[in-house]
Structure 1
Amino acid sequence: MDILRFSCGILGNAVGLFLFLAPMTTFKRIVRRRSTEQFSGIPYIVTLLSCSLSTWYGLPFVSPDNLLVLIISGIGVVIELTYVWIFITYAPKKESQKIMGLSGLALILVLTFAFVSLFALHGKTRKLFCGIMLDIFSILTYASPLSVMMLVIKTKSVEFMPFLLSLSSFLCGIFWLAYGLLSQDPFLIVSNGLGTGLGIAQLILYAMYGKNQSQTKNEVRDEFGEMDLEKTGQNEETELPRSSFTASSKN
């Protein structure tokens, strides 16, 4: 059972890292276009907050024998900080200020959480408090794509819901749910059980509307093609009188 638990933790770490790196395609697009477009920075702040609390929960004096949780959560903090910084850099001024304010609020929450659990609580009470807070913010992390899922249902397009992110969320939830069950850790079971369900929901939406993404791109391409044809027609109309004038002058 210990070997199986460790294996699930390793797989959870591997898929978790892939999950953290999945939005890289989105942020390459943001950097290349120097615009955040319709992407939201809030999910990355919520994920950063959740990773911070998970890192604290994995510390030996809070939750013994959870080193794998500590490792992947610490890596997640570094990666999500990078994403938030990029978003602040390329978002419109108003949106950038909003993200900066939310980031500051997240920092205050993490410091308050750490201070209370470290100095006011001890033993099982500390683990209970940290576990409950971890579940709350882990649920928010998994639920943050709900706004994107609503956008997918509204537009019938998955353009702003990357497939790799959805797939990684599902796999990460599955492995950490198994890890929590084998560890008999109710806090890991609750958050990752919900995460698995939301991951399945995202994959279902992708199966329903995934083909519409290519159709949307084709429609945009057709619109640009029509515009080019109109410009070509206008140029031909303006060139015809010029040709006739030249011909008459030669005669």
Structure 2
Amino acid sequence: MHGQDLIRTVVGIVGNVISGFMFLSPTPTFVRIFKNKSTEEFHPYPYLACVMNCLFWIFYGLPAVHPDSTLVITINAAGLVLELIYLTIFFKHTTKKNRLIILSVLAGECLLLAGVAALTLHCFHTHEKRSMVVGIICCVFGIIMYASPLSILWKVIKTKSAEFLPVWLCLAGFLNGVTWFAYANLKIFDLYIAIGNGVGGALGLIQLIVWTYYTMKEKRRGPKDDKAGEVQLQKTATNV
């Protein structure tokens, strides 16, 4: 194995580990959901987006589409299993509206994958063309997955609280994007992995900045609010 091959393999393994961390990062959120028996203000969109992303990257990594992509298949297969477990827990403890959304989106994702797979395998007969078609779709859904935590961004800005922004998912998304972007630039440049994960890393960074800003702002505001409350309590006691 040449030096660059070895480096690419090592980076790919590191990418698998970080991707595993990304897929495991929602665990604290789902422990909270399980304990409270409620999904509160959490959204199912990040997990639905992850399912779609994993499905298409598994298809992309198949020998019939893009040979020598075992590491891409293994981590996304593991991620798919975890995301389906998360959605099962979410489905059990959420509202009827969210349950309908989950079922509808999952059905649509399966139909879309089936359609793309049939079109790709029957209409394109070289690995290059198949990789291009599926790779472009993977880029789109990869970016959607990385951007999905932003679905709660308006609530974060409105409430000035980052409580419901999944910080561990944002951090893992940032690290995952950076690592796989590096992987795509080693030895044989993979445009589709590079674009999807490059944009994903940037989106993860933006989410971390938003989380840090509102978390620090809330911490700075906390002591002042407590002190103001104590002063008001003293005044009330004096008036009594």
CA radius of gyration, larger in: 1
Distance 1:36 1:66 in 2: 36
| Aligned partner of 1:145 among 146, 149, 155 | 149
Question: 1:149: how far off?
Answer: 2.8
Distance 1:18 1:161 in 2: 17
Distance 2:145 2:121 in 1: 24
Work out the percentage of aligned pairs sharing the same amino acid.
38
Deviations 1:99-137 (A, max 9, x none): 111111111111112222222222121111111111111
1:70 corresponds to 2:73: yes
Report the counterpart of residue 168 of structure 2 in structure 1.
164
1:129 corresponds to 2:133: yes
Number of aligned residue pairs: give it.
Answer: 224
CA contact (8 A) 1:35 1:91 kept: yes
| Aligned partner of 1:210 among 211, 215, 227 | 215
| Aligned partner of 2:101 among 98, 102, 106 | 98
Distance 2:203 2:8 in 1: 23
Alignment of 1:51-66 (within 5 A): 51-66=54-69
Bigger drift between 113-122 and 47-56 goes to 113-122
Report the counterpart of residue 189 of structure 1 in structure 2.
194
Bigger drift between 83-92 and 9-18 goes to 83-92
- The SS at the match of 1:145 is helix
Normalized against structure 1, the TM-score is what? 0.82
| Aligned partner of 1:2 among 2, 5, 9 | 5
Give structure 1 stretches of 5+ with no counterpart.
Answer: 223-228, 230-251
Normalized against structure 2, the TM-score is what? 0.86
Report the counterpart of residue 159 of structure 2 in structure 1.
155
Q: Which amino acid aligns with 2:205?
A: I
CA contact (8 A) 1:8 1:179 kept: yes
Question: 1:91: how far off?
Answer: 0.8
